[in-house]
Chains A and B, each alone.
Chain A
Protein backbone atom coordinates (compact mmCIF):
# COMPACT_ATOMS: atom_id res chain seq x y z
CA UNK A 1 0.00 0.00 0.00
CA UNK A 2 1.43 3.37 -0.97
CA UNK A 3 1.86 6.23 1.48
CA UNK A 4 -0.90 8.22 -0.23
CA UNK A 5 -3.35 5.29 0.01
CA UNK A 6 -2.50 4.76 3.70
CA UNK A 7 -3.15 8.42 4.51
CA UNK A 8 -6.43 8.35 2.55
CA UNK A 9 -7.51 5.22 4.46
CA UNK A 10 -6.60 6.87 7.77
CA UNK A 11 -8.50 10.08 6.94
CA UNK A 12 -11.66 8.13 6.04
CA UNK A 13 -11.47 5.71 9.01
CA UNK A 14 -10.37 8.39 11.50
CA UNK A 15 -13.08 10.79 10.31
CA UNK A 16 -15.81 8.15 10.65
CA UNK A 17 -14.61 7.15 14.15
CA UNK A 18 -14.43 10.80 15.26
CA UNK A 19 -17.93 11.50 13.91
CA UNK A 20 -19.34 8.43 15.73
CA UNK A 21 -17.62 9.47 18.98
CA UNK A 22 -18.96 13.04 18.77
CA UNK A 23 -22.47 11.76 18.02
CA UNK A 24 -22.23 9.35 20.96
CA UNK A 25 -21.00 12.01 23.40
CA UNK A 26 -23.76 14.45 22.32
CA UNK A 27 -26.36 11.81 23.15
CA UNK A 28 -25.01 11.07 26.67
CA UNK A 29 -26.85 12.26 29.79
CA UNK A 30 -25.38 15.55 31.04
CA UNK A 31 -22.49 15.50 33.55
CA UNK A 32 -23.78 15.37 37.13
CA UNK A 33 -27.43 14.74 36.22
CA UNK A 34 -29.53 12.23 38.15
CA UNK A 35 -30.52 10.17 35.09
CA UNK A 36 -28.52 6.93 35.36
CA UNK A 37 -30.38 3.95 33.85
CA UNK A 38 -27.32 1.67 34.04
CA UNK A 39 -26.73 2.55 37.71
CA UNK A 40 -30.35 1.78 38.59
CA UNK A 41 -30.27 -1.57 36.78
CA UNK A 42 -26.88 -2.71 38.13
CA UNK A 43 -27.67 -1.57 41.69
CA UNK A 44 -30.81 -3.73 41.75
CA UNK A 45 -28.91 -6.69 40.27
CA UNK A 46 -26.09 -6.33 42.83
CA UNK A 47 -28.51 -6.20 45.77
CA UNK A 48 -30.35 -9.24 44.41
CA UNK A 49 -27.05 -11.20 44.49
CA UNK A 50 -26.11 -9.87 47.98
CA UNK A 51 -23.03 -8.04 46.65
CA UNK A 52 -22.45 -4.78 48.55
CA UNK A 53 -19.66 -3.63 46.20
CA UNK A 54 -21.65 -2.91 43.04
CA UNK A 55 -18.46 -2.52 40.97
CA UNK A 56 -17.42 -6.09 41.85
CA UNK A 57 -20.94 -7.25 41.01
CA UNK A 58 -20.52 -5.73 37.53
CA UNK A 59 -16.97 -7.08 37.11
CA UNK A 60 -17.44 -10.62 38.44
CA UNK A 61 -21.15 -11.32 38.05
CA UNK A 62 -23.08 -9.20 35.53
CA UNK A 63 -20.17 -8.78 33.10
CA UNK A 64 -17.86 -11.57 34.27
CA UNK A 65 -17.31 -12.56 30.63
CA UNK A 66 -15.63 -9.17 30.01
CA UNK A 67 -13.33 -9.79 32.98
CA UNK A 68 -12.41 -13.21 31.56
CA UNK A 69 -11.43 -11.43 28.35
CA UNK A 70 -9.35 -8.83 30.21
CA UNK A 71 -7.65 -11.55 32.23
CA UNK A 72 -6.76 -13.41 29.06
CA UNK A 73 -5.30 -10.19 27.58
CA UNK A 74 -3.10 -9.80 30.69
CA UNK A 75 -1.97 -13.44 30.47
CA UNK A 76 -1.17 -13.06 26.76
CA UNK A 77 0.79 -9.83 27.25
CA UNK A 78 2.87 -11.27 30.09
CA UNK A 79 3.71 -14.29 27.90
CA UNK A 80 4.63 -11.84 25.12
CA UNK A 81 6.93 -9.85 27.42
CA UNK A 82 8.57 -13.06 28.67
CA UNK A 83 9.31 -14.16 25.11
CA UNK A 84 10.55 -10.73 23.98
CA UNK A 85 12.80 -10.09 27.01
CA UNK A 86 14.62 -13.44 27.06
CA UNK A 87 18.38 -12.93 26.62
CA UNK A 88 19.31 -12.67 22.93
CA UNK A 89 22.14 -14.68 21.33
CA UNK A 90 24.66 -11.84 21.66
CA UNK A 91 23.79 -11.22 25.30
CA UNK A 92 24.92 -13.12 28.35
CA UNK A 93 23.99 -13.23 31.99
CA UNK A 94 26.29 -12.26 34.83
CA UNK A 95 26.07 -11.85 38.56
CA UNK A 96 24.87 -8.34 39.44
CA UNK A 97 27.81 -6.31 40.75
CA UNK A 98 27.60 -3.69 43.50
CA UNK A 99 24.31 -2.86 45.16
CA UNK A 100 24.97 0.90 45.26
CA UNK A 101 24.35 3.22 48.17
CA UNK A 102 21.03 3.25 50.00
CA UNK A 103 19.78 5.82 52.50
CA UNK A 104 18.97 4.34 55.92
CA UNK A 105 15.60 6.13 55.85
CA UNK A 106 14.72 4.46 52.52
CA UNK A 107 15.69 1.07 53.94
CA UNK A 108 13.63 1.62 57.09
CA UNK A 109 10.49 2.87 55.31
CA UNK A 110 10.77 0.02 52.79
CA UNK A 111 11.03 -2.74 55.39
CA UNK A 112 8.26 -1.09 57.47
CA UNK A 113 5.84 -0.94 54.54
CA UNK A 114 6.67 -4.32 52.99
CA UNK A 115 4.44 -6.41 55.32
CA UNK A 116 1.80 -3.65 55.56
CA UNK A 117 1.49 -3.34 51.77
CA UNK A 118 1.27 -7.10 51.16
CA UNK A 119 -1.33 -7.42 53.96
CA UNK A 120 -3.44 -4.55 52.55
CA UNK A 121 -3.28 -6.21 49.12
CA UNK A 122 -4.46 -9.57 50.49
CA UNK A 123 -7.30 -7.83 52.39
CA UNK A 124 -8.32 -5.95 49.25
CA UNK A 125 -8.57 -9.24 47.33
CA UNK A 126 -10.50 -10.99 50.11
CA UNK A 127 -12.98 -8.12 50.59
CA UNK A 128 -13.49 -7.57 46.87
CA UNK A 129 -17.19 -8.37 47.05
CA UNK A 130 -17.83 -6.19 50.12
CA UNK A 131 -15.71 -3.02 49.96
CA UNK A 132 -13.98 -1.07 47.13
CA UNK A 133 -11.25 -3.06 45.43
CA UNK A 134 -11.14 -6.65 44.31
CA UNK A 135 -8.91 -9.18 42.62
CA UNK A 136 -7.24 -6.81 40.19
CA UNK A 137 -6.50 -3.98 42.62
CA UNK A 138 -5.41 -6.25 45.47
CA UNK A 139 -3.35 -8.42 43.12
CA UNK A 140 -1.46 -5.39 41.82
CA UNK A 141 -0.78 -4.21 45.40
CA UNK A 142 0.55 -7.65 46.46
CA UNK A 143 2.66 -8.07 43.32
CA UNK A 144 4.15 -4.58 43.61
CA UNK A 145 4.51 -4.71 47.40
CA UNK A 146 6.91 -7.66 47.23
CA UNK A 147 9.27 -5.44 45.18
CA UNK A 148 9.73 -3.12 48.16
CA UNK A 149 12.34 -5.76 49.05
CA UNK A 150 14.34 -4.59 46.02
CA UNK A 151 13.94 -0.92 46.98
CA UNK A 152 14.76 -1.42 50.68
CA UNK A 153 17.03 -4.46 50.57
CA UNK A 154 18.90 -5.72 47.55
CA UNK A 155 18.32 -7.52 44.27
CA UNK A 156 19.74 -10.68 45.82
CA UNK A 157 17.22 -10.50 48.66
CA UNK A 158 14.36 -10.06 46.19
CA UNK A 159 15.68 -12.98 44.11
CA UNK A 160 15.70 -15.27 47.14
CA UNK A 161 12.25 -14.27 48.40
CA UNK A 162 10.40 -13.81 45.11
CA UNK A 163 8.67 -17.01 44.01
CA UNK A 164 8.90 -16.63 40.21
CA UNK A 165 8.31 -20.33 39.54
CA UNK A 166 5.27 -20.30 41.78
CA UNK A 167 4.06 -17.08 40.13
CA UNK A 168 4.28 -18.63 36.67
CA UNK A 169 2.13 -21.47 37.97
CA UNK A 170 -0.22 -19.06 39.79
CA UNK A 171 -0.86 -17.09 36.64
CA UNK A 172 -2.04 -20.16 34.77
CA UNK A 173 -4.00 -21.51 37.75
CA UNK A 174 -5.75 -18.15 38.32
CA UNK A 175 -6.79 -17.81 34.69
CA UNK A 176 -7.78 -21.49 34.53
CA UNK A 177 -9.83 -21.30 37.74
CA UNK A 178 -11.80 -18.35 36.32
CA UNK A 179 -12.62 -20.30 33.16
CA UNK A 180 -13.53 -23.41 35.20
CA UNK A 181 -15.92 -21.36 37.35
CA UNK A 182 -17.48 -20.18 34.10
CA UNK A 183 -17.99 -23.74 32.88
CA UNK A 184 -19.36 -24.76 36.29
CA UNK A 185 -21.86 -21.91 35.99
CA UNK A 186 -22.82 -23.06 32.52
CA UNK A 187 -23.43 -26.63 33.75
CA UNK A 188 -25.31 -25.71 36.94
CA UNK A 189 -27.12 -22.47 36.02
CA UNK A 190 -27.41 -22.69 32.23
CA UNK A 191 -25.34 -19.54 31.71
CA UNK A 192 -21.54 -19.26 31.35
CA UNK A 193 -20.12 -17.73 34.58
CA UNK A 194 -23.62 -17.84 36.12
CA UNK A 195 -23.64 -17.19 39.88
CA UNK A 196 -24.48 -20.63 41.25
CA UNK A 197 -22.97 -20.56 44.78
CA UNK A 198 -24.93 -19.77 47.98
CA UNK A 199 -25.30 -15.99 48.21
CA UNK A 200 -24.96 -15.53 51.99
CA UNK A 201 -26.00 -12.39 53.88
CA UNK A 202 -25.62 -8.89 52.42
CA UNK A 203 -22.34 -7.28 53.59
CA UNK A 204 -20.75 -10.47 54.97
CA UNK A 205 -17.23 -11.48 53.91
CA UNK A 206 -18.64 -14.75 52.53
CA UNK A 207 -21.50 -13.23 50.58
CA UNK A 208 -22.26 -12.65 46.90
CA UNK A 209 -21.76 -16.28 45.79
CA UNK A 210 -19.15 -16.74 43.07
CA UNK A 211 -18.05 -13.05 43.09
CA UNK A 212 -15.65 -13.69 46.01
CA UNK A 213 -14.10 -16.74 44.36
CA UNK A 214 -13.72 -15.07 40.97
CA UNK A 215 -12.12 -12.10 42.75
CA UNK A 216 -9.61 -14.41 44.45
CA UNK A 217 -8.86 -16.17 41.14
CA UNK A 218 -8.17 -12.80 39.49
CA UNK A 219 -6.11 -11.74 42.51
CA UNK A 220 -3.86 -14.81 42.21
CA UNK A 221 -3.46 -14.28 38.48
CA UNK A 222 -2.74 -10.53 38.66
CA UNK A 223 -0.29 -10.76 41.58
CA UNK A 224 1.55 -13.56 39.74
CA UNK A 225 1.47 -11.59 36.48
CA UNK A 226 3.06 -8.54 38.15
CA UNK A 227 5.81 -10.69 39.72
CA UNK A 228 6.59 -12.47 36.42
CA UNK A 229 6.44 -9.23 34.41
CA UNK A 230 8.75 -7.26 36.72
CA UNK A 231 11.07 -10.30 37.02
CA UNK A 232 11.65 -10.17 33.25
CA UNK A 233 12.35 -6.41 33.29
CA UNK A 234 14.62 -6.65 36.36
CA UNK A 235 16.50 -9.61 34.88
CA UNK A 236 17.21 -7.70 31.65
CA UNK A 237 18.16 -4.48 33.47
CA UNK A 238 20.36 -5.98 36.19
CA UNK A 239 21.74 -9.32 35.03
CA UNK A 240 22.08 -9.27 31.24
CA UNK A 241 24.71 -7.39 29.23
CA UNK A 242 25.13 -7.06 25.48
CA UNK A 243 28.18 -8.10 23.43
CA UNK A 244 29.38 -4.57 22.67
CA UNK A 245 29.80 -3.71 26.36
CA UNK A 246 31.73 -6.91 27.08
CA UNK A 247 34.14 -6.16 24.23
CA UNK A 248 34.78 -2.60 25.33
Chain B
Protein backbone atom coordinates (compact mmCIF):
# COMPACT_ATOMS: atom_id res chain seq x y z
CA UNK B 1 0.00 0.00 0.00
CA UNK B 2 2.76 2.46 0.85
CA UNK B 3 4.37 1.72 -2.56
CA UNK B 4 1.05 2.73 -4.21
CA UNK B 5 1.01 5.95 -2.16
CA UNK B 6 4.64 6.68 -3.14
CA UNK B 7 3.89 6.14 -6.85
CA UNK B 8 0.74 8.30 -6.68
CA UNK B 9 2.63 11.07 -4.84
CA UNK B 10 5.40 10.99 -7.47
CA UNK B 11 2.85 11.19 -10.30
CA UNK B 12 1.17 14.17 -8.60
CA UNK B 13 4.55 15.94 -8.30
CA UNK B 14 5.33 15.24 -11.99
CA UNK B 15 1.83 16.36 -13.02
CA UNK B 16 2.09 19.60 -11.01
CA UNK B 17 5.40 20.43 -12.73
CA UNK B 18 3.80 19.67 -16.12
CA UNK B 19 0.94 22.12 -15.38
CA UNK B 20 3.38 24.87 -14.38
CA UNK B 21 5.63 24.25 -17.40
CA UNK B 22 2.72 24.45 -19.90
CA UNK B 23 2.86 27.88 -21.56
CA UNK B 24 -0.38 28.17 -23.53
CA UNK B 25 -3.38 28.57 -21.14
CA UNK B 26 -5.63 26.50 -23.47
CA UNK B 27 -3.20 23.56 -23.22
CA UNK B 28 -2.78 24.25 -19.52
CA UNK B 29 -6.50 23.56 -18.99
CA UNK B 30 -5.90 20.05 -20.36
CA UNK B 31 -2.81 19.36 -18.23
CA UNK B 32 -4.67 20.75 -15.21
CA UNK B 33 -7.47 18.28 -15.91
CA UNK B 34 -4.99 15.37 -16.06
CA UNK B 35 -3.33 16.63 -12.87
CA UNK B 36 -6.78 16.61 -11.20
CA UNK B 37 -7.17 12.92 -12.12
CA UNK B 38 -3.73 12.12 -10.66
CA UNK B 39 -4.71 13.90 -7.43
CA UNK B 40 -7.89 11.79 -7.32
CA UNK B 41 -5.73 8.63 -7.61
CA UNK B 42 -3.62 9.87 -4.68
CA UNK B 43 -6.74 10.49 -2.58
CA UNK B 44 -7.94 6.96 -3.39
CA UNK B 45 -4.52 5.60 -2.34
CA UNK B 46 -4.94 7.44 0.97
CA UNK B 47 -8.42 5.78 1.31
CA UNK B 48 -10.38 9.03 0.89
CA UNK B 49 -12.95 8.17 -1.83
CA UNK B 50 -15.23 11.08 -0.86
CA UNK B 51 -12.48 13.63 -1.52
CA UNK B 52 -11.45 11.80 -4.72
CA UNK B 53 -15.03 12.12 -6.05
CA UNK B 54 -15.13 15.86 -5.34
CA UNK B 55 -11.70 16.25 -6.94
CA UNK B 56 -12.78 14.50 -10.15
CA UNK B 57 -15.96 16.58 -10.43
CA UNK B 58 -14.49 19.98 -9.64
CA UNK B 59 -10.79 19.71 -10.56
CA UNK B 60 -11.07 17.56 -13.66
CA UNK B 61 -14.35 18.74 -15.18
CA UNK B 62 -15.63 22.13 -14.02
CA UNK B 63 -12.45 24.20 -13.50
CA UNK B 64 -10.82 23.25 -16.86
CA UNK B 65 -14.17 23.90 -18.60
CA UNK B 66 -14.42 27.38 -17.04
CA UNK B 67 -10.80 28.10 -18.08
CA UNK B 68 -11.53 26.98 -21.68
CA UNK B 69 -14.69 29.12 -21.90
CA UNK B 70 -12.85 32.15 -20.52
CA UNK B 71 -10.06 31.71 -23.10
CA UNK B 72 -12.63 31.43 -25.90
CA UNK B 73 -14.29 34.64 -24.73
CA UNK B 74 -10.96 36.50 -24.61
CA UNK B 75 -9.97 35.31 -28.10
CA UNK B 76 -13.35 36.46 -29.44
CA UNK B 77 -12.75 39.95 -28.05
CA UNK B 78 -9.23 40.46 -29.38
Which residues from chain A sit less than 8 Å from chain B, CB to CB? 32, 53, 55-56, 124, 132-134, 136-137, 140-141, 144, 147, 226, 229-230, 233-234, 236-237, 240-242, 244-245
Closest 7 CB pairs of A and B: A140-B57, A132-B49, A137-B53, A237-B69, A233-B69, A55-B50, A237-B73
- B17 part of interface (Cβ distance < 8 Å): no
- Report whether B69 and A124 are in contact in the complex, using a CB–CB cutoff of 8 Å: no
Could you give 8 example pairs across A and B, Cβ below 8 Å?
A: A32-B2, A132-B49, A140-B57, A226-B62, A237-B70, A237-B72, A237-B73, A241-B77
Residue of A nearest to B67 (CB): A233
- List chain A residues, Cβ under 8 A from B69: 230, 233-234, 236-237
- List chain B residues, Cβ under 8 A from A240: 73
How many angstroms between the C-alpha atoms of A192 and B73 in the bound complex?
A: 44
* Given known A136-B54, A137-B53, contact A147–B65 (CB-CB < 8 A): yes
- Report whether B62 and A241 are in contact in the complex, using a CB–CB cutoff of 8 Å: no
| Least Cβ–Cβ distance between A156 and chain B, in angstroms | 17
- List chain B residues, Cβ under 8 A from A124: 53
- B58 part of interface (Cβ distance < 8 Å): yes
- Report whether A230 and B65 are in contact in the complex, using a CB–CB cutoff of 8 Å: yes
Please report the total number of B residues contacting A with Cβ < 8 Å: 17
- Report whether B70 and A233 are in contact in the complex, using a CB–CB cutoff of 8 Å: yes
Consensus secondary structure, chain A interface: helix
- Report whether B76 and A241 are in contact in the complex, using a CB–CB cutoff of 8 Å: yes
Residue of A nearest to B5 (CB): A32
How many angstroms between the C-alpha atoms of A56 and B73 in the bound complex?
A: 39
- Report whether A137 and B54 are in contact in the complex, using a CB–CB cutoff of 8 Å: yes
- B61 part of interface (Cβ distance < 8 Å): yes
Among the listed B2, B62, B76, which residue makes an inter-chain contact with A230, where contact means beta carbons less than 8 Å apart?
B62
- Report whether A245 and B77 are in contact in the complex, using a CB–CB cutoff of 8 Å: yes
- Report whether B50 and A230 are in contact in the complex, using a CB–CB cutoff of 8 Å: no
| Least Cβ–Cβ distance between A138 and chain B, in angstroms | 8
- B14 part of interface (Cβ distance < 8 Å): no
Among the listed A32, A132, A144, A242, which residue makes an inter-chain contact with B62, where contact means beta carbons less than 8 Å apart?
A144
Among the listed A140, A226, A245, which residue makes an inter-chain contact with B76, where contact means beta carbons less than 8 Å apart?
A245
Could you tell me which residues of chain B, from 22 to 78, have a CB within 8 Å of some CB in chain A?
49-50, 53-54, 57-58, 61-62, 65-66, 69-70, 72-73, 76-77
